[in-house]
Amino acid sequence: MNRFLSKTVLLLITGVFWNGALQAQITKAIENPINLSVKVDRYDAIFTWDGFNDSFEDNTFDAWAEVIKGTGTPGDPPTGAYWQTFDYGEEAPDGKYDAVCPWGYNVDSWLITPSIPITSGTKLTFLWSKSYVWSVSPNNNDDLFVKVSTDNGATWTSIWQEEDYGKFDNWTWIETTLDLSAYAGQNCKIAFNVVGDDNADTHIDNVSISNSSKRTIRNRVISDAARVAANARTNGGYKYTFMNNRAGVRNLTGYNVFLNGTQKATNISKKTFTFEDLAVGDYTAGVQRVYSSGVSEIVNKDFTIVKVIDVTGVSLSESDVSIRADSTFQLTATVKPDNATNKNVSWTSNADSVATVDANGLVKGISGGSAQIVVMTEDGNFTDTCEVTVVIPVASVELNKTEIKLGVDSIFTLETTITPDTATNQTVSWTSSNESAATVDNNGLVTGIAAGSAEIIVTTADGNFTDTCTVTVEKYSIAVTGVTLSETSKELQVNESFTLTATVAPDGATNKNISWKSDNESVAGVDENGLVTGIAEGVARIIVTTEDGNLTDTCTVTVSNKSTGIENINSSVFKLYPNPVKEGFTIETSERGILEIFNLSGNKLSALPITSDKKFFDVSHLQSGTYFAKINGKIVKFVKK
């Protein structure tokens, strides 16, 4: 690639033919400073001019406010997948340094200017170079964006990307100019943002933000010096002639700064100057450009220093507020005293995943939870806080039945499903349209009172959403249609127990009474609650029978007698009663020793001393089942209910 020169100021292109080749040089005209701005900070005034310019020839990003590297990982060679200055040598469009974001993966790197005052006619001009093949087609692996922020970087708007240019040659330097007049009157940050994955290098150079009156071409390929000359001839706004290339070149060397006509700084290189400790009053700041031969006119900017009234505090319009997800609420900050000079505030949320807040105090609910919204004064860093609770609203409620039939005095429990299931407030209320026919309690339990019908209505506390079930109460009882056990077969050890559960159908049956029996009680027994206990080896059928209709279901129980290592002996040496046991038992014995308690697996659970002929032992901590009590080798079996 040929070395070339490009500037964004008014240029005088001069040259001469040597041996048939065009020799060119650039002579700068004297221009006045532009884009003047004064920011008053209490009794100081920060004076800036000439917008923003960086050609990266100092091999730093000192002119920029922020470089965000991002989390990208580099390709090969591993030079870092983020913005960095780079010695591009003869390939650079001006000097030898530019800025590059190299090849990498999961790249999201930002290069951000300071906040710059934008006026009508302010333009952003920059050079860029990248691979069409890896950025647009056939591999759309990355994008170079230019973005603008008007809220100090809180939010960004994209105003350009390389695909806007159209087809371009790989690694060709292109000059692009963007008009920023739409942001006139605002302080803006400008960002160059590379986003990509397995992307090729992206280069930029000669970034300028100013109000230059020079006519510029929005997009211009400048890699070829001959094409630059052709552009100058065909697009106007340029003057060119041919002269001896040894003619002198006028260069900008610095700036002179004035306050109320008095010079305060001479030939400084920076484009900013701070006037400190000024008295209250009106002032005029001035600046002129200093060239190697000559100076520009002095360009002035008026400003005023006022008496500073310090901030003493800040308060919010609300201390706590509840909002729904996706809804907003406006907080208002009152800075004290009312006549404070600097009433600027900033806003933050300690949980952006729950609630966010913008630069104007507008809070938006994101997801269920709590967040603290904090306002802070720029003067004095005073704060106030609002506790924000974000609720997930109910969208609907649905009952598990749309209609049921009940007998008099029969019951049925309705169940609700609230959508979404993450809704914050899932409280509901219940009502009956005809309590003389059917009633409903706070848990959805419906009771048939008398023959007739009623609408059972559930209502959500949040949103008053409803659903209805029609209940018909019949004068005569609702007959049982079946019964089902929780188990159809079960294997047990001798003295092991488990509980069967019987479900009577339909749910609204009037008489749900049942009875239990074993067809082989020598093998397994069952009590009135369905508790089955293995007695001896063998097979038994446990049968449940409904009182209404004598309907049955059966569970087949197989009992085995696996050895526990403890002989089952009924001892006459000591007495244990009562047996079965609920809370505890009494031991009567003339022997002294240690009472040991074992489970069916032979594991010793406790050991207690026998100190008298009659002693009570608390075994309420034991689970229901069969155990063995052992004293001096003598054993008694007992059952814990």
Express each pLDDT in 120-173 by its tens digit: 888 899 999 998 888 888 988 889 999 999 999 999 999 999 888 888 888 899
Find the range with the poorest average confidence among 24-33, 118-127, 535-544, 569-578: 24-33
Give the C-alpha separation, 174 to 1, whole Å: 13
Q: In 10 A of CB 280, how many CB atoms? A: 10
| Per-residue pLDDT, 232 | 35
| Per-residue pLDDT, 444 | 96
Give the C-alpha separation, 92 to 5, whole Å: 9
Q: In 10 A of CB 572, how many CB atoms? A: 8
Q: Are the C-beta atoms of 301 and 35 separated by less than 8 Å?
A: no
pLDDT digits (tens, 9 = 90+) for 443-458: 999 999 999 999 999 9
Nearest residue to 335 via CA among 297, 294, 397, 381: 381
| Per-residue pLDDT, 574 | 80
**pLDDT band at 78, cuts 50/70/90?**
low
Q: Are the C-beta atoms of 148 and 183 separated by less than 8 Å?
A: yes
pTM assigned to the model = 0.41
| Per-residue pLDDT, 323 | 93
Q: Are the C-beta atoms of 589 and 571 separated by less than 8 Å?
A: no
Q: Which of the pair, 385 or 592, is modelled with greater confidence?
A: 385
Q: In 10 A of CB 632, how many CB atoms? A: 15
CA angle 615, 620, 623 (to 5 degrees): 130
| Per-residue pLDDT, 305 | 93
| Per-residue pLDDT, 250 | 59
Residues in the chain: 641
CA angle 504, 505, 510 (to 5 degrees): 80
Give the C-alpha separation, 498 to 490, whole Å: 9
| pLDDT for 212 beyond 70 | no
Question: Phi-psi region for residue 491, left (φ > 0), alpha (ψ -120 to 50) or beta?
Answer: beta
| Per-residue pLDDT, 568 | 42
Give the phi and the psi of residue 425 in degrees, each rounded to 5: -105, 105
pLDDT digits (tens, 9 = 90+) for 302-349: 999 999 999 999 999 999 999 999 899 999 999 999 999 899 999 999
Helix (H, G, I), strand (E, B) or coil at 165: helix
Token pair for residue 276?
């400190």
Q: In 10 A of CB 220, how many CB atoms? A: 18
Give the C-alpha separation, 166 to 132, whole Å: 10
**pLDDT band at 572, cuts 50/70/90?**
low
Tokens 């300690």 belong to which residue?
350
Q: Are the C-beta atoms of 285 and 58 separated by less than 8 Å?
A: no
Nearest residue to 612 via CA among 574, 581, 583, 584: 574
Token pair for residue 507?
């749910």
pLDDT digits (tens, 9 = 90+) for 226-243: 333 333 333 333 333 333
Pairing of strands 239-242, 11-18: parallel
Can you tell me the mean pLDDT for 32-49? Answer: 84
| Per-residue pLDDT, 76 | 73
Give the C-alpha separation, 533 to 559, whole Å: 9
pLDDT digits (tens, 9 = 90+) for 245-279: 333 445 788 999 999 999 999 999 888 899 999 99
| Per-residue pLDDT, 507 | 83
| pLDDT for 22 beyond 60 | no
**pLDDT band at 594, cuts 50/70/90?**
confident
| Per-residue pLDDT, 575 | 85
| Per-residue pLDDT, 392 | 92
| Per-residue pLDDT, 545 | 95
Query: E-assigned strands of 486-613?
Result: 489-493, 497-499, 502-505, 514-518, 524-526, 531-534, 538-546, 552-560, 574-577, 584-589, 593-598, 604-610
Sheet (strand 574-577) strand order:
574-577, 584-589, 614-618
The number of CA neighbours under 13 Å toward the Cβ of 221 is 16
Give the C-alpha separation, 46 to 287, whole Å: 13
Q: Are the C-beta atoms of 250 and 206 separated by less than 8 Å?
A: no
What one-letter code names the amino acid at 121? G
- Our separate counts of H helices and E strands in the chain read 2, 59
What one-letter code names the amino acid at 442? N
| Per-residue pLDDT, 216 | 35
> What percent of the chain shows pLDDT beyond 70?
87
pLDDT digits (tens, 9 = 90+) for 504-536: 998 878 788 999 999 998 889 999 999 999 888
Token pair for residue 618?
């608390």
**pLDDT band at 4, cuts 50/70/90?**
very low
Token pair for residue 551?
């309907």
| Per-residue pLDDT, 487 | 94
Give the C-alpha separation, 561 to 315, whole Å: 79
Cα Rg of the chain (Å, integer): 45
| pLDDT for 300 beyond 50 | yes
Give the C-alpha separation, 532 to 541, whole Å: 11
- Report in angstroms the alpha-carbon separations of 572 from 220, 392, 409, 640: 113, 70, 54, 21
| pLDDT for 552 beyond 50 | yes
**pLDDT band at 214, cuts 50/70/90?**
very low
pLDDT digits (tens, 9 = 90+) for 110-123: 999 988 878 788 88
What letter would DSSP give residue 19?
T
Q: Are the C-beta atoms of 345 and 375 separated by less than 8 Å?
A: yes
Sign of the four-CA dihedral 35, 39, 45, 46 = negative
> What percent of the chain shows pLDDT beyond 90?
51
Domains of the chain as residue ranges with CATH: 65-71+80-210 (2.60.120.200), 313-391 (2.60.40.1080), 397-467 (2.60.40.1080), 482-560 (2.60.40.1080), 575-640 (2.60.40.10)
Nearest residue to 9 via CA among 37, 32, 39, 38: 32
**pLDDT band at 222, cuts 50/70/90?**
very low
Can you tell me the mean pLDDT for 577-590? Answer: 88
The number of CA neighbours under 13 Å toward the Cβ of 493 is 10
Q: Are the C-beta atoms of 212 and 34 separated by less than 8 Å?
A: yes
Helix (H, G, I), strand (E, B) or coil at 181: helix
| Per-residue pLDDT, 546 | 93
